[in-house]
Amino acid sequence: MSGSTENGGVCARYRVVHETRYTYQSKVSLSQQYLHLTPRSFAFQDTESHVIWLDPPISDSKAGIDYFGNHTRHVALTQPHDSLLVHAESTVTVRPRHGLAQIAGTLPWESVREMMGKEKSPATLEACRYLYASPHVTLSPELEAYARHSYTPARPQLDAALDLTERIFDDFEFDSKATEISTPLEQVLRNRRGVCQDFAQLMIGCLRSIGLPARYVSGYILTHPPPGKPRLVGADASHAWVSVFCPALGWVDFDPTNRCLVQHEHITLGWGRDFSDVTPMRGVVLGGGMQTLAVQVTVMPLPLSGAA
């Protein structure tokens, strides 16, 4: 359920259930996993509650904060098992973000690029860590050329970012079988097909290739069932989008997969340079042989706190 605020923005509250199940061909004697499954609390989001449990139960667990400020959990399982279920459940409230009217009239993008090398404010210095190539985001003349169709001379920075968001949506086709985690951006750009992870990293590569900072955001999005149909449990999915640094407004999020400025239907897990920094779950197992993976995500709207 959502509600409008005095300034026209929208608040919303959600329960998110994210289940990951591995089934192994043979017994696993030891499993160690590193989890990014705890939603962040920040200017536009409050995490009211969060719980993670595993089956079989964990033998050891340690919570932490990574380099980018995301909540993490290291878990170890020493009980032999032939399947593993990781259940993460959260309640979050999202608050109004910058709207189209607020992002209009920002500085020319060239001015922002110049500030990255000169301005020494804490916010700008923090943004500089997202200027460079990273494990899944390369910088290239081809990505720069694609970006330049949106980033024309003296165009306001966020106006150009929205245009790039819309062009990626229009030029690329969503195809869950076209790419893998390791597919290079150059191949995504050439074939014009991929998934949300690819489109987010493509946009980030475009921005960094012209000297602008951008970070990868991992999270969820509320999906809408067909008219007259019930919301299906487990039918949602993890999602990814892009956060662009603006000196005047801070970080502003864009979703090239859905051709939009991010608002109240996106729930943030965490952010980093690319997918590798915020992988929901990764680890090592001893034994197991072949394995199958099944992921179910449910995003359920809730009444706002204090609502009737």
List the pLDDT tens digit at each of the 308 positions of the chain.
555 554 457 899 999 999 999 999 999 999 999 999 999 999 999 999 999 999 999 999 999 999 999 999 999 999 999 999 999 999 999 999 999 999 988 999 999 999 998 888 999 999 999 999 999 999 999 999 999 999 999 999 999 999 999 999 999 999 999 999 899 999 999 999 999 999 999 999 999 999 999 999 999 999 888 888 877 666 688 999 999 999 999 999 999 999 999 999 999 999 999 999 999 999 999 999 999 999 999 999 999 976 53
Cβ-based burial of 305 (10 A; exposed 0-12, middle 13-18, buried ≥19): exposed
Give exposure, 152-172, as e/b (b: 16+ Cβ within 10 Å): eeebbbbbbbbebbebbbeeb
- The ranges assigned to domains in the chain are 2-94+279-302, 100-277
Q: Single out the residue of 94, 108, 114 nearest to residue 1, CA to CA.
A: 94
The H or E element containing residue 300 is strand 291-302
Q: What is the Cα–Cα distance from 40 to 242, expressed in whole angstroms? A: 16
Of 286, 283, 271, 288, the C-alpha closest to 86 is 283
250-268 per-residue burial string, b: 16 or more CB within 10 A, e: under 16 = ebbbbbbbbebbbbbbbbb
pLDDT score, position 225: 82
For residues 221 and 262, the answer to whether their CB atoms sit within 8 Å is: no
Partners of residue 2 on adjacent β-strands: 12
Sign (positive or negative) of CA dihedral 255, 259, 261, 267: negative
Query: Which two tokens mark 159?
Result: 């106006």
What CATH architecture is 100-277? Roll (3.10)
Domain with residues 2-94+279-302, CATH architecture: Sandwich (2.60)
d(CA 105, CA 114): 18
Phi, psi of 59 (to 5 degrees): -95, -30
